[in-house]
């Protein structure tokens, strides 16, 4: 028994060494191939394949290198030799046709692929396999031919319809693609979401939308609801919301989904800023399905459309391009409509998230549209007291903090913001916003060290929307800490801008800017003076100060922001797009690492689109 075991060991050791040698040689050849040394790789692959011609891995590698070296005859030779051994391997026919195609003998390639299909009649998978080889060589017409053959014999023709539609959309044959997609959802409505997603992925291409709409309209004759929904979705893409609404109204009569489709359509219309239509759809849902679970969110949606009416009124004299501005107090009648609508929701759905959101929105209307801080505070406090577990309670705390900051009650503002910061259930972005606001509170009261610590936490995640503001405040604190008296004065001016006291703030910033001992702070103060002058509509004064900043060139670290502000003034204040473009392009050229690059590019695109 011991002798036998010893013999087995003696025999197996050389075999193990041989196997390891093969592996090492194959890995070496792969390294040569990956580094582009195909001749060296070829030599090893040929030796390996010659030793073990049954090894499929060696065959694939050798054939791959032959194609890289354009040794097409060698490729044909080894493929044909394998076909003699295994004539039922469909992939070998695919590879052979591929080699002929790469050699430039397209007819031989097609003949090879055609014979493969004929050799296995009725085999849908083989049709798809050969079609994939044709697609790889971008021979789309042959691929379509093979896919159609497979579709005819397939148990699930939809599988082939997806492939066909993909080729048609790729080759700009949008009507043919639409026919395939309509066929899919006609036979299986559950595929609607997939089909819609595929169509929307290319619908922005020239003529794609109009051609697809034409085909889907023709397919409506089949009386399939999924086709109706697809047409409605395409109408929305085309901006034909009223026609889409008519389809949804008609479909809602036959569907037993309690108005869910109407609700989704209303939300889409709202997101597309079609507020009047959204209001009508929300109301239609409530009237048709009074017991639907979508009634309460539909009523909330309707109230939001009334609030958007207020926003449109405010946008008539839109000053949002300015760093600081006040919204003109809006007509009380429309404000009353929106508040009444939200108040009804609070009464109808007490202790609900809908009621909590309604209270938050009432408070914000009062705070930001009417500047009624005391009345707004009552609504935010109701959320805190009556809805302590609502997701909107943290928004309420932030708004209460804003009111306390305006009232100089920094201790209460800090308590409000810490309620947000110390709650682990709040998203990181909202926590960082609260951190930034608390940093500002500490800045206002002269606690610069605490402000810096909070900003440091924000700057650990530069992806947050508040990151740029945090960087700016952090830079201000880090570079001016030794100038504490002027920094305190600067903080006072900054607080005044928060309160809308722009004239007083401008005087403070002007005072700091005139102090030549302030170094960095005086440069920042000059920019703040510009921002407050803009809030007072003093464009000429703002331009004059900004030009002084630019004349200092590299001495002023805020020169890039000065250029950005100049561009904004010319674009939105002076309505001089040519001059604005000059400022923006100068910023891109002079400050390639500026924080304002992305915003500058967006404004350039807006101007060029406007001109074109």
Using only C-alpha atoms, the chain has a radius of gyration, in whole angstroms, of: 35
What number of residues does the chain have? 612
Q: How far apart, in Å, are the Cα atoms of 251 and each of 75, 226, 247, 257, 299? A: 59, 10, 6, 10, 22
Label residue 357 exposed, middle or buried (CB < 10 Å: 0-12, 13-18, 19+): buried
Q: Which residue's structure tokens are 């004065």? A: 489
Q: Which residue's structure tokens are 């405040």? A: 473
Which of left, alpha, beta for 52 (phi over 0: left; psi -120 to 50: alpha)? beta
Number of H helices, E strands in the chain: 32, 0
- Return the closest-CA partner of residue 146 out of 162, 166, 124: 124
Quote the mean pLDDT of the chain: 89
Label residue 5 exposed, middle or buried (CB < 10 Å: 0-12, 13-18, 19+): exposed
Rounded Cα distance between 471 and 460, Å, is: 11
Question: Is the pLDDT score of 387 beyond 50?
Answer: yes
Residue 413 contacts residue 377 (beta carbons within 8 Å): no
The pair of structure tokens assigned to 49 is 């394949």
Rounded Cα distance between 518 and 483, Å, is: 7
Task: State the alpha helices, DSSP H only, in 349-483.
Answer: 353-368, 373-386, 393-406, 410-421, 428-444, 448-458, 467-480
Question: Is the pLDDT score of 440 beyond 80?
Answer: yes
Tens-digit pLDDT profile for residues 421-431: 998 888 888 99
Rounded Cα distance between 517 and 109, Å, is: 82
Question: Is the pLDDT score of 541 beyond 90?
Answer: yes
Instruction: Please state, as a whole number, how many other Cβ atoms lie within 10 Å of the Cβ of residue 593.
Output: 6
Residue 351, pLDDT score: 92
Average pLDDT for 259-283: 94
Query: Residue 206, Cα to own-chain centre: how many angstroms?
Result: 23
Question: Is the pLDDT score of 2 beyond 70?
Answer: no
Question: Is the pLDDT score of 7 beyond 70?
Answer: no
Question: Is the pLDDT score of 438 beyond 90?
Answer: yes
Backbone φ and ψ for 210, nearest 5 degrees, come out as: -65, -40
Its pTM stands at 0.75
Rounded Cα distance between 505 and 513, Å, is: 12
Rounded Cα distance between 219 and 429, Å, is: 47
Rounded Cα distance between 314 and 302, Å, is: 19
Question: Is the pLDDT score of 17 beyond 60?
Answer: no
Tens-digit pLDDT profile for residues 56-98: 999 999 999 999 999 999 999 999 999 988 888 899 999 999 9
Please name the helix (run of DSSP H) or strand (run of DSSP E) that holds residue 216, with its range, or none: helix 208-219
């Amino acid at each position: 028994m011991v002798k036998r075991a010893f013999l087995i060991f003696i025999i197996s050791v050389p075999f193990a060494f041989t196997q390891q040698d093969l592996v090492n040689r194959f890995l070496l050849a792969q390294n040569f191939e990956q580094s582009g040394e195909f001749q060296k790789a070829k030599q090893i692959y040929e030796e390996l394949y010659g030793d073990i011609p049954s090894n499929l891995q060696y065959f694939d590698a050798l054939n791959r290198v032959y194609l890289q070296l354009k040794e097409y005859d060698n490729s044909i030779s080894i493929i044909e030799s394998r076909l003699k051994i295994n004539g039922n391997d469909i992939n070998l026919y695919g590879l052979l046709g591929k080699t002929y195609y790469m050699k430039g003998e397209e007819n031989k390639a097609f003949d090879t692929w055609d014979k493969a299909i004929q050799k296995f009649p009725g085999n849908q998978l083989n049709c798809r396999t050969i079609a994939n080889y044709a697609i790889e060589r971008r021979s789309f017409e042959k691929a379509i031919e093979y896919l159609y053959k497979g579709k005819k014999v397939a148990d699930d023709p939809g599988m082939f319809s997806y492939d066909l539609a993909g080729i048609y959309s790729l080759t700009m044959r949008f009507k043919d693609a639409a026919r395939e997609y309509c066929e899919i959802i006609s036979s299986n409505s559950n595929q609607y979401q997939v089909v819609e997603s595929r169509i929307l992925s290319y619908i922005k291409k020239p003529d794609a939308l109009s051609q697809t709409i034409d085909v889907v309209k023709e397919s409506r004759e089949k009386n399939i609801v999924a086709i109706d929904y697809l047409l409605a979705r395409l109408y929305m893409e085309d901006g034909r919301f009223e026609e889409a609404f008519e389809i949804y109204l008609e479909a809602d009569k036959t569907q037993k989904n309690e108005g869910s489709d109407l609700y989704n359509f209303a939300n889409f219309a709202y997101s597309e800023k079609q507020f009047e239509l959204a209001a009508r759809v929300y109301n239609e849902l409530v009237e048709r399905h009074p017991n639907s679970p979508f009634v309460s969110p539909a009523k909330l949606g309707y109230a939001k459309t009334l609030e958007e009416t207020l926003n449109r009124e405010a946008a008539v004299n839109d000053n949002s391009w300015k760093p600081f501005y006040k919204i003109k107090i809006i007509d009380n009648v429309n404000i009353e409509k929106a508040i009444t609508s939200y108040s009804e929701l609070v009464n109808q759905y007490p202790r609900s998230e809908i009621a909590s959101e309604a209270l938050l929105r009432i408070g914000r209307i009062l705070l930001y549209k009417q500047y009624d801080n005391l009345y707004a505070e009552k609504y935010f406090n109701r959320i805190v007291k009556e809805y302590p577990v609502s997701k909107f309670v943290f928004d309420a705390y932030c708004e209460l903090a804003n009111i306390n900051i305006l009232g100089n009650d920094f201790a209460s503002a800090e308590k409000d913001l810490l309620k947000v910061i110390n709650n682990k259930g709040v998203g990181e972005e909202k926590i960082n916003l609260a951190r930034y606001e608390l940093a500002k509170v500490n800045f206002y009261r002269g606690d610069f060290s605490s402000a810096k610590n909070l900003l440091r936490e924000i700057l650990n995640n530069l992806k947050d929307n508040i990151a740029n503001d945090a960087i700016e405040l952090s830079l201000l604190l880090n570079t001016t800490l030794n100038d504490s008296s002027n920094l305190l004065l600067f903080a006072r001016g900054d607080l005044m801008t928060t309160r809308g006291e722009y004239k007083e703030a401008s005087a403070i910033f002007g005072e700091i800017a005139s102090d030549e001992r302030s170094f960095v702070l005086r440069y920042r103060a000059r920019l703040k003076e510009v921002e407050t002058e803009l809030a007072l509509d003093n464009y000429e004064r703002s331009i004059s100060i900004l030009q002084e900043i630019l004349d200092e060139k590299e001495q002023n670290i805020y020169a890039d922001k000065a250029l950005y502000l100049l561009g904004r003034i010319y674009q939105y204040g002076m309505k001089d797009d040519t001059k604005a473009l000059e400022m923006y392009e100068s910023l891109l050229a002079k400050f390639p690492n500026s924080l304002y690059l992305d915003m500058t590019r967006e404004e350039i695109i807006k101007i060029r689109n406007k001109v074109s």
